[in-house]
Structure 1
């Protein structure tokens, strides 16, 4: 595991964006694992800037997102499909038929999960971007006595609902379920890029990176992966 702590979020975002650009330069048909939430927004902004400068093309790139809310159609402004279009896909030359997210509107969620795992198996992720939840979740894999290996429907914990409530008009509007890649699926990525920002994440960063490996802190399972790169701002890394 490589841990890098940056003086500013600007430096962190620039480094992460360059990592993706370098990956595509080395492998133009790379498969990229992407994340949503507030953490990657700055990274996506830097990637878009570099695309507009002519430094990278996404015409042969494939992407898989970690998760999607159950019950939100792609046109809903709080869906992750909408998020990705707004922050990244709508600003670069990626083919839309190469951008995959779980279908939160699927009539048969179990079949949707199985199909997503089949696609991931056929096209393994080269670099998977991850954020880190306050309770140690990665994707929407919440702390539990046991974790699912593959893509599955998850009931979101109260602390996750509260963290996500800032994006909605009220708590009642926050979806209670999501479809997420399982920890096993995440760990199959060749490289994992874990990005964490903010003093409020400092304690869980230490627990995830230096604490015991336990399903009660899903991110701690990243300690078992051979190629994890952790990018932290000063606040998030202050306890290491």
Structure 2
């Protein structure tokens, strides 16, 4: 059973999440970090920036590998995940640009880009700490519910529910990409430790199903039950059913 932590406030949520990441970097400055985008980690990244500015943590020797990226968005597009990571974390800490890795969604051959990312992860070795969020349908990364799930980095067609959930970041749903490159479930589960960040009452039902229901590819996040070292950090609303 994953270790479930319920934060009493947004400040505590961010402090706990950032503290877990900072503690790893303090004990292992060369840590391999698996990073996620979305609304749940934003405050955690903000707190990490504060810790860096206070001199409490350094990313100088660390490497990062992001979970996913939209297919077809230029790297500098305001809604690309590369832009997100630059604006929320990378530009504000001492991580080396060449040590930050995000799938190349703008590649003219996304399938080849996905295969290249799989090889990059293989060469890197096991991620020390993988940060995750969860979608309303239970997806982790962009591994959408289905009869079977792919193990390694691949191109995925996004569920309509996922595109609708992400439409708030774009001018209209028509602008939301229909595909993404995502790490696969096997890559995620190979991490030594996983930190699942869950915020908001709309996530309460799916996180309860994922953590307490059957392990099924219909709820990809439920596969985290098979991992020996998972921390679920939830706010009060998201954690009210677990």
Displacement of 1:107 after TM fit?
2.1
Please give the alpha-carbon distance, in whole angstroms, between the structure 2 residues aligned to 1:76 and 1:110: 21
Residue 139 of structure 2 corresponds to residue 137 of structure 1: yes
Look up the match of 2:176.
174
Q: 1:2-51 deviations in whole A, cap 9, x for unaligned?
A: 11111112101111101111001111100000000111100000000000
Q: Find the partner of 1:147 among 146, 149, 154.
A: 149
Look up the match of 1:55.
56
Q: Secondary structure at the match of 1:28?
A: coil
Q: Secondary structure at the match of 1:112?
A: helix
Look up the match of 2:199.
197
**Where has structure 1 moved over 3 Å in runs of 4 or more?**
none
Please give the alpha-carbon distance, in whole angstroms, between the structure 1 residues aligned to 2:211 and 2:37: 21
The answer to whether the Cα contact below 8 Å between 1:9 and 1:197 also exists between their aligned partners in 2 is no
Please give the alpha-carbon distance, in whole angstroms, between the structure 2 residues aligned to 1:88 and 1:27: 19
Displacement of 1:105 after TM fit?
1.2
Structure 2 stretches lacking a partner, 5+ long = none
Look up the match of 1:237.
239
In the TM superposition, what are the counterparts of 1:83-98 in structure 2 within 5 Å?
A: 83-98=84-99
Look up the match of 1:128.
130
Look up the match of 1:110.
111
Q: 1:146-172 deviations in whole A, cap 9, x for unaligned?
A: 110000000000100000000000111
Q: Secondary structure at the match of 2:137?
A: coil
Look up the match of 1:45.
46
- What RMSD over aligned residues (CA atoms) do the two structures have, in Å? 0.7
Please give the alpha-carbon distance, in whole angstroms, between the structure 1 residues aligned to 2:205 and 2:129: 26
Please give the alpha-carbon distance, in whole angstroms, between the structure 1 residues aligned to 2:47 and 2:98: 23
Structure 1 stretches lacking a partner, 5+ long = none
Please give the alpha-carbon distance, in whole angstroms, between the structure 1 residues aligned to 2:231 and 2:215: 17
Report the number of matched residues. 240
Q: 1:105-126 deviations in whole A, cap 9, x for unaligned?
A: 1122222111111111222210
The answer to whether the Cα contact below 8 Å between 1:190 and 1:227 also exists between their aligned partners in 2 is yes
Q: Secondary structure at the match of 2:197?
A: strand
Q: 1:83-110 deviations in whole A, cap 9, x for unaligned?
A: 0000000000110000000000112222
Please give the alpha-carbon distance, in whole angstroms, between the structure 2 residues aligned to 1:15 and 1:160: 28
Please give the alpha-carbon distance, in whole angstroms, between the structure 2 residues aligned to 1:195 and 1:230: 6
TM-score (structure 2 length as normaliser): 0.98
